[in-house]
Structure 1
């Protein structure tokens, strides 16, 4: 309540000035952290009694640079050296390590989510954080995450750290300045712009368990384009082996090591055990039948950044990338009699099941080949009138090509292939953008009034390309008694009598006879996209913005912005923002902001379809995700999606002491209305006596092929309103000492989410509890960097607070509290020569793990796979790097 009152007062006091300015856009900046290389010089100079040189960074192109103490909004600026100090090859993990309010987890069995990992900023998913490269919007991934918020955002892993000069993370809503998606904040990746020199590094490491070997090769080279231009090319190659953190599959209904659970009529246990050793059993040859861990991945990426000065009034620029990334992981183990390996009657009356093909059962292998490419080109400069301009066009495409192997289409029986192509997902975006700035002298202001305005047109599409026919075909055994062996009264037909005469055990009077078995349709684990669920979704949008910003007095900076966007599928929306910074003294300041925003659901979120195996009540169940506006979801009671709207409040304090210590403390609140989320899974049953039978009939009426084999359905809805409140604290200090130079950085984040209104009633008690309590509320990062002669020592502690998980679905029956964790990283670098350096180190050197899960585990899983606390254990590495 105190924070809310302070925010309200600051907003009321700033409003008259904001109205006087009329409209503005943020140009957020910050001081490079003290543990960056340049800051070493800066802080050392301060310690020696010389002037403290303040570093300036501009994220956008709409205003002059401002220091961190003068910025009206909180921002993290991560320089090249700090990015290199983290041994991860995935940029997601690098940001997670350095920015406490940024989180990403590992989802080993989550379809495409195994390879394209969803991230959050301030508890908001990727689709609520705008991602920029060189200040231009980055295109989205083709993957819509199944379940949860269904996030569809850019695949940040396709942006390698080797191509980056800095990363700027704006932790504040900025939809009025940069557009839809900027509800939680903005991440801007600034590419290297060197015209000469370059770098190379080779990094190898593995986990303490002896798996997960990762080789990373990076290179960058700068070229001069005449004497007025540059071309910087960066390349990455990453090859990572899988990990396994699992135990043998052993449940009450089936245990690999317990012969008593082996079902009668499915061969003998000894043959089954012998089959467990077959190479086709699982994806990586482990002794356990189902692996839980990191997938096997390989990626090749090339980024370029270029610019050329034609004249004082014209600069040309272009940048882009091409990424080829592949990955593979497994699905749930298919044991005898699990609904997939079931006895059926063939045309000759004999019985058959998939153990004939896979004697030890099987674990489907799911693979994805991702092709990501982009190109941005533009011209910018300043006319003689003082009008600054930036005209640009961009194109981005992300395509995922799926392959499913080591599985079957159960409805095809013994005629089923074992490898399938379920289809492709393609997301494309094209945008034209114009940005303009003009300074005006206002006699009563301490600085010129910056007037900025701009426009954009964007066209985007999302396409589901159909798979091969076998991946979605409803085969012979998708219906009961496909060969017509039995009459309705339980007697045998002539065809049935004929196979009985030939020795068949057919018994039409027995309702459990394999002749009545109905098998699932489509490639088991991930049925392909049929023509009925394939297609392309297109939309376009227009946007325009205006903004003004100025130092109203020597101590007060104010800005305000308004943006109008018009979507072909969601209509128009006007949003705005006001922000300011007041310098109480040279050392202390206060800043605050208030803004509104909205996010239009993406074409992918409106059109994606997926049927996959999920865990429902502890059991693997074929579960279907259907578009909210489609016939299937509509038949189940869904409403069409609408935009999410937000209101953001921030209040912050800044301090900058003569000793070199800098501090920022920012409080925030984000009210998000009509938040999109998947409903709790609705059960489906073809049993007329079941309460879920009506859902089955709805699927049949909607023409869903294989409805008999689907055990659950869900869809996205504007489920509820939420409130996110939190705090960010950052402090750094660097000093010279008898042992060299030492820098300290401490960052902490507190983030709490709560549902303020459930608008549909489709979210059960368990999902509600886990949404509000399933992630640590406290996160912290403490880094110590020490340099002495040719040695550099870096120690980093990542802290995760406690969190909870529940069980019980409609009624909470039990909860588990996960304890706090501290993961410690340590590395040592030695400068071999002026250009070459060797580094050795480890992540999570104490080999800590989160608490073992009590709920939503099993099937060989030990740890909750969606835990933000890494559960792979310790990792050691060595790196050779060279600058030239």
Structure 2
């Protein structure tokens, strides 16, 4: 496997080299003249330098982003920013395709994302655990980005909802000439995860002064597998497995499968990956297959000496697929039934000696596919003159959609008529916003920024294909009337017996009485009642005053009012200041209030499946908070999450060492959470479950008798996070070349301010406080000489804990080291490197869910794919 992948890498590099070497492009330079970086994030008025900002801001230029050799913006930011964490969650429905992230220990939807200073639309996915719904950074290709400005401070008073923990502002490239093209490829030490990508950027002139800049990226990442052989006490085909003896003792009737030639042959068809029992991986844990095409454009054109029109937008399409849990024979959810001719049918049955690949005689592992499309367009007109009043009018539209497909599975209630490929439905998030911004220079030392916005939002659950949700004939016992109510045989039953059927109506265990689950096994589709659209609109007003009270003191005051059609209004404010004690030392600090409005997706998301307790179909799961069922059982409209935060820090220089040190504290009230399931039963002896049923009936909830459990998102508990960030740089010049050393350290503590036990069990509470490491550090050393550069980057994760059922596993601190060698020739630039040079892994999980071949905790924020080597070739022109 590894040799084949290496061969493909070499072939692709050779072909790309022939193309690139034939073009007469100028070689890039290794370093640029150092300049003070001017930032536009964190202030609405006059732009300020990083050093003069009253709040901490990190700036990463395109060269820095390019030095992180990964294809996803999520992983680029994780590599550069200690406070940003992102997990890889296999077998986690939509979270496998849109990865959940956190910033400073808070869900990523509490950090606002901007592109060119304008709000970026959210993704379509609502995380069913935390409820978070933020933008998908993976849709932003690195090749399109000129720089990223990361504001590490609350800014809701400036930008509105979501900016509780901070702001990320992606500035697009705006060159009107030149461009670049690059090809890179890599593979894991393990021999899997082959990665290839091609990226290009070009700047074109529009008239004498306008520009059109276009970026395109195409990437393909093959899946990874970090699993052990599936071996549990209920199913184990591995004689060397730790639980094999327990399996033999508990399930001697199943042991024969380990030597059954028909089963072993059929198991090769259990997974679309081609993994069978002989490979040991009927179920896999790892990264999904991913193929993506992403593009951005950025344009500006002056229409007079004092005005210009501008536009930018993107289109992204990514297709990903990952596995589900293995459905082994006798799994208890797919049972034998009697067909219309009276014969017994079982989709997991081993057919003796004549297995032909039909059905799933070796069990099956459903394969989940997500086609994620992301589209945005923004256009505007703004002033460019030197007058005291600057203005900017813009309109944007954004759409994020995921189309689900589930293959290699069945709708059991359809029996033999079931297809094996399904379309469970779509999730669609759309936003449209009109924005008007103004800056008035009151004097040389004072500026007033003010503006207004109107936003319309919608979230839709698109109906799935009928086979994905329909209740087939086998959702009910005895669908063909073979038996009478008194367990005697009907005329229809006698007829099939006469034709050789083994039907026995007097035996209540006969397959004729079995019922099968409704909908596609693995991810039930959205039926017409589930498929709904949720909308709202809002408007906001803001003002910001920036004052240079002296050469050494800058003060910022901001206030914002927003009104939402679904929950009401919020007013927030911010005060910040920077004071230079000397030419080399300064102090800064801020206090702000903020909020995050519950999204239409969080109000409308639904995840309901149909189960068959006592053979009666009932719907159980997460209902929209606005649904009749949720309201009848006590749900109330979601409230905004609100925050109070302050920070204080110092900036300074010690010789050639520049540093910043900032302390922060954020308190967030009414964190959104999912209530515990409320059971519903039509049985008068079922206590509170029957009371819930009566409440549904009393509220005239349609289909109350078919509901088994109800949960919803609610405004829940309060939390606080606090910590500090240290950033230091040290350049060294010598006869041997230029060496740049950088250290970024983040420390973060998380705690509850109110009792969360009504929403979170003990495990979830412990994990919130201790699961992510409190300490994260990044150390980078880059040495350049002549036409060469050597870069080494170390990433450190501090101690963390995983708690489950009274047992705690302590994870020791861990270092991972990246290294890259770069050569800049006259025509091309070549780089060779490795990520995770020493092939480090987090500790194997010993508590919690270690089922079914899982080795590493799938929610871990520490990468667990091992070492990865790569090569890159690029040209500027």
Residue 285 of structure 1 and its aligned partner are, at CA, apart by 3.6
Match for residue 439 of structure 1?
Answer: 441
Q: 2:82 aligns with which of 66, 77, 100?
A: 100
Native 8 Å contact 2:452 2:539 kept in 1: yes
Q: Deviations over 1:107-163 (max 9, x none)?
A: 11111111111111111112111100000011111111222x211111111100000
Does residue 818 of structure 2 align to residue 828 of structure 1? no
SS of structure 2 residue aligned to 1:278: helix
Does residue 833 of structure 2 align to residue 841 of structure 1? yes
Does residue 555 of structure 2 align to residue 558 of structure 1? yes
Q: 1:363 aligns with which of 347, 359, 365?
A: 365
Map 1:155-304 → 2, pairs under 5 A:
155-257=136-238, 260=248, 270=260, 273-283=263-273, 285=275, 287=279, 288-304=281-297
Match for residue 241 of structure 2?
Answer: none
Counterparts of 1:55 and 1:189, CA distance in 2: 15
Q: 2:795 aligns with which of 798, 814, 818?
A: 798
Match for residue 321 of structure 2?
Answer: 328
Residue 165 of structure 1 and its aligned partner are, at CA, apart by 0.5
The 1:547–1:268 alpha-carbon spacing in structure 2 relative to 1, beyond 3 Å, is closer
Map 1:485-634 → 2, pairs under 5 A:
485-611=482-608, 624-634=621-631
Residue 454 of structure 1 and its aligned partner are, at CA, apart by 0.3
Match for residue 876 of structure 1?
Answer: 869
Does residue 650 of structure 2 align to residue 668 of structure 1? no
Counterparts of 2:407 and 2:668, CA distance in 1: 41
Native 8 Å contact 1:60 1:135 kept in 2: no
Residue 683 of structure 1 and its aligned partner are, at CA, apart by 7.2
Residue 680 of structure 1 and its aligned partner are, at CA, apart by 4.8
Does residue 768 of structure 2 align to residue 771 of structure 1? yes
Native 8 Å contact 2:57 2:152 kept in 1: yes
Q: Deviations over 1:651-694 (max 9, x none)?
A: 1111123x221111111111111100223566789999989965
Q: Deviations over 1:490-514 (max 9, x none)?
A: 4434433443444433344444332
SS of structure 2 residue aligned to 1:311: coil
Residue 93 of structure 1 and its aligned partner are, at CA, apart by 0.1
Residue 39 of structure 1 and its aligned partner are, at CA, apart by 7.4
Residue 37 of structure 1 and its aligned partner are, at CA, apart by 8.2
Residue 649 of structure 1 and its aligned partner are, at CA, apart by 1.1
Counterparts of 2:718 and 2:603, CA distance in 1: 20
Residue 71 of structure 1 and its aligned partner are, at CA, apart by 1.1
Q: 1:851 aligns with which of 843, 853, 872?
A: 843
Counterparts of 1:428 and 1:335, CA distance in 2: 40
Counterparts of 2:307 and 2:485, CA distance in 1: 83
Residue 79 of structure 1 and its aligned partner are, at CA, apart by 0.6
SS of structure 2 residue aligned to 1:354: coil
Match for residue 5 of structure 2?
Answer: none
Q: Deviations over 1:565-620 (max 9, x none)?
A: 01111111111111111112221111111111111111111111124799xxxxxx
Counterparts of 2:775 and 2:680, CA distance in 1: 39
TM-score, scaled relative to structure 1: 0.88
Counterparts of 1:359 and 1:660, CA distance in 2: 70
The number of residues matched between the two structures is 819
SS of structure 1 residue aligned to 2:832: strand
Counterparts of 2:577 and 2:118, CA distance in 1: 25
Q: For structure 1, which segment, 487-496 or 573-582, has the greater mean C-alpha deviation from structure 2 after superposition? A: 487-496
Counterparts of 2:177 and 2:557, CA distance in 1: 40
Q: 1:343 aligns with which of 336, 341, 354?
A: 336
The 1:734–1:144 alpha-carbon spacing in structure 2 relative to 1, beyond 3 Å, is same
Residue 386 of structure 1 and its aligned partner are, at CA, apart by 1.7
Map 1:394-405 → 2, pairs under 5 A:
394-405=396-407
Native 8 Å contact 2:80 2:778 kept in 1: yes
Which residues of structure 2 form unaligned runs of 5+?
Answer: 1-27, 239-243, 350-358, 612-617
Match for residue 428 of structure 1?
Answer: 430
The 1:178–1:406 alpha-carbon spacing in structure 2 relative to 1, beyond 3 Å, is same
Q: Deviations over 1:691-723 (max 9, x none)?
A: 996599689965679969x8x764322121111
The 1:747–1:696 alpha-carbon spacing in structure 2 relative to 1, beyond 3 Å, is same
Residue 801 of structure 1 and its aligned partner are, at CA, apart by 1.0
Residue 639 of structure 1 and its aligned partner are, at CA, apart by 3.3
Q: 1:119 aligns with which of 97, 101, 110?
A: 101
Counterparts of 2:169 and 2:226, CA distance in 1: 35
Native 8 Å contact 1:40 1:741 kept in 2: no
Q: Deviations over 1:169-228 (max 9, x none)?
A: 111110000010111110000000111111111010011111110101100011111221
Residue 516 of structure 1 and its aligned partner are, at CA, apart by 2.6
The 1:595–1:188 alpha-carbon spacing in structure 2 relative to 1, beyond 3 Å, is same
The 1:463–1:727 alpha-carbon spacing in structure 2 relative to 1, beyond 3 Å, is same
Counterparts of 1:684 and 1:208, CA distance in 2: 51
Match for residue 64 of structure 2?
Answer: 82
Counterparts of 1:305 and 1:641, CA distance in 2: 37
Counterparts of 2:680 and 2:825, CA distance in 1: 65
Counterparts of 2:499 and 2:804, CA distance in 1: 52
Residue 807 of structure 1 and its aligned partner are, at CA, apart by 1.5
Map 1:632-711 → 2, pairs under 5 A:
632-657=629-654, 659-680=655-676
The 1:98–1:282 alpha-carbon spacing in structure 2 relative to 1, beyond 3 Å, is same
Native 8 Å contact 1:719 1:760 kept in 2: no
SS of structure 1 residue aligned to 2:602: helix
Match for residue 457 of structure 2?
Answer: 460
The 1:55–1:384 alpha-carbon spacing in structure 2 relative to 1, beyond 3 Å, is closer
Does residue 132 of structure 2 align to residue 130 of structure 1? no
Cα RMSD of the aligned pairs, angstroms, is 2.7
The 1:753–1:507 alpha-carbon spacing in structure 2 relative to 1, beyond 3 Å, is farther
Residue 550 of structure 1 and its aligned partner are, at CA, apart by 1.1
Native 8 Å contact 1:220 1:234 kept in 2: yes
Which residues of structure 1 form unaligned runs of 5+?
Answer: 1-35, 43-52, 442-446, 615-620
Residue 312 of structure 1 and its aligned partner are, at CA, apart by 2.7
The 1:60–1:170 alpha-carbon spacing in structure 2 relative to 1, beyond 3 Å, is closer
Counterparts of 1:320 and 1:723, CA distance in 2: 36
Native 8 Å contact 1:365 1:405 kept in 2: yes
Native 8 Å contact 2:603 2:638 kept in 1: yes
Native 8 Å contact 2:311 2:380 kept in 1: yes
Counterparts of 1:632 and 1:478, CA distance in 2: 23
Does residue 70 of structure 2 align to residue 91 of structure 1? no
Native 8 Å contact 1:69 1:589 kept in 2: no
